[in-house]
A and B are shown apart, each in its own frame.
Chain A
Amino acid sequence: MAKRIGIEVSLAISEAVKLANVDAIAAYPITPQTHIVEHLSELVADGELQAEFIPVESEHSAMSVCAGTSAAGARTYTATSSQGLALMNEILFIIPAMRLPVVMTIANRSLSGPISIWNDHSDLMSVRDTGWIAIFAENGQEAFDLTLQSFKIAEDHRVMLPISVNIDGFTLSHVIEPHEFLDQAEVDSFLPPYEPLVQLNPDKPVSMGMVGIPEIYFEAKKAQDMVLIESKAVIKEVFKEFGEKFGRYYHVIESYRTDDAETLLMTMGSISETAMEAIDIMKDEQGRKVGLIRLRLWRPFPHEELRELLRGVKTLAVVDRAVSFGSPGGPVATEVRSALYNSENAPYVASFIAGLGGRDVTIEHFTTMVDMAERMAEQREVHEYKMIGVRE
């Protein structure tokens, strides 16, 4: 039976990885991801998890090892953050192109410079176009559940793509929360052992990572994008099966008190918890027609679901936690605007950037954003983006 355990979110993720019965883990410790792989190394050392734990000298090597173990048919896991993710960059592109279902936790942290160990989403945004599925968890329970679901999604033969499960560094990774654990039998009933579609095997030789001459490179990229786009259906299937089995339902976009809402906030990750409180206050105390949607799935981007959810909504305030330097908005807002551009009755989209480098995003900030967005929508103000909480 499921147990309720108070545990640090990082350790809960490690326990999920153990329950997923991974075969290989390669990782380099980087703040604030360190506790995850530290705990996994203990589990392996203590014999609680039968896996190869491969300590490497950098994240570039960690991801290279993951490519190798996954190609050899091992269920493969790693975790990283910030500069570590940046150092993996070269190999990050190769993993999805080779259709290797590696699962990686990213404890999101801002990128240097200035040097910062604190949380925002600039690390993930820097690898936006590598071809990985990217999922966001909002709290520890979601991080635990999504880790388990990720293996199933990644390894589905219709998908065979890597996944990053994003959790906010420190604000999520280092807090102790109550988690509903699943026991081994429950996990086994949900997650079958990894069956590679093709693998490196001397008895049945294949060549992987081929040269893409001009005659095939274009086709290779088309095939890769199509499979990423189509993975959304499998992601929804796995979310549904998990919900039916364990009672916790996940959606590619979650909505919170959106009935009859005319103005919506849109967030990703753990700030959504504060945003919910802000929505409660605005709705219950001020009677305002507001609601919240939070993006669970960043890649593949859920365009249709977004358009569906926004039907009848007048104003959308998108909260980004990264800067896309020189662009007309935050990365999420730019994506949202482009998804809505040709649709009829699209809401006014206000782009806000908040909470960079560990800066708190408060209830007041969310209220301010809603106020500003409504005012700007009324005046149809043409704008790029506005930063909230920065000293002018």
Chain B
Amino acid sequence: MAKNFNEMTWKEFDIAFMVTNPGCSADYRTGDWRSQKPVTDKSKCIKCGVCYLACPDDAIRLAADGTYDFDYDHCKGCGICATECWTGCISMVEEEK
């Protein structure tokens, strides 16, 4: 992962803050302003994949056992996955410091 913007001094940026390396948000943590995060009670999960399809941020990953994990570097905490989950096994919990 590239160095975060808020860790760089004015001398470390490219000329005129141009972006000289094409890239995308995969290189950065974009989920750091989230106030709530989704957590799954995996004992109730039926592995249907609805949460995976519903996430607008592509922040849900298929785990080895067929359930789904969250990519907290990119999850924005919108709660759509929790709303869409059939079994109600995803709940939104407050972020802690």
| A229 within 8 Å of B (CB atoms) | no
8 further contact pairs, Cβ within 8 A, besides A160-B15, A197-B15, A198-B18 = A99-B15, A198-B15, A207-B18, A207-B22, A210-B19, A216-B8, A216-B13, A216-B17
Residues on A lying within 8 angstroms of B by beta carbon are 97-99, 160, 197-198, 205-208, 210, 212-213, 215-216, 219-220, 222-223, 226
Contact across chains for B17 and A220 when beta carbons are under 8 A apart: yes
Given A205-B22, A206-B20, A213-B5: A222 and B15 within 8 A (CB)? no
Contact of B5 among A206, A208, A215 (CB under 8 A): A215
How many A-B contacts if CB must be within 8 Å?
Answer: 47
Q: How far is the CA of A212 from the CA of B6 in the complex (A)?
A: 12
Q: Nearest-CB distance from B22 to chain A (Å)? A: 6
- B interface residue count range (under 10 / 10 to 19 / 20 to 34 / 35 or more): 10 to 19
Q: Is the interface of B mostly helix, strand, loop or mixed?
A: loop
> Footprint of A on B, CB under 8 Å?
4-6, 8-11, 13-20, 22
Determine the distance from Cα of A222 to Cα of B6 in the docked complex, in whole angstroms: 15
Query: Are A223 and B6 in contact (CB-based, < 8 A)?
Result: no
Measured in the bound complex, the distance between the Cα atoms of B14 and A98 in whole Å is 11
Q: What are 18 A-B residue pairs whose CB atoms fall within 8 Å in the complex?
A: A97-B16, A98-B16, A198-B16, A205-B22, A207-B19, A207-B22, A208-B16, A208-B18, A210-B18, A212-B17, A216-B5, A216-B6, A219-B8, A220-B10, A222-B10, A223-B13, A223-B17, A226-B10
Q: A223 and B20: CB pair below 8 A?
A: no
Contacts of B20 in A (CB 8 A): 198, 206
A215-B5, A216-B5 given as contacts; is B10 within 8 A of A223 (CB)? yes
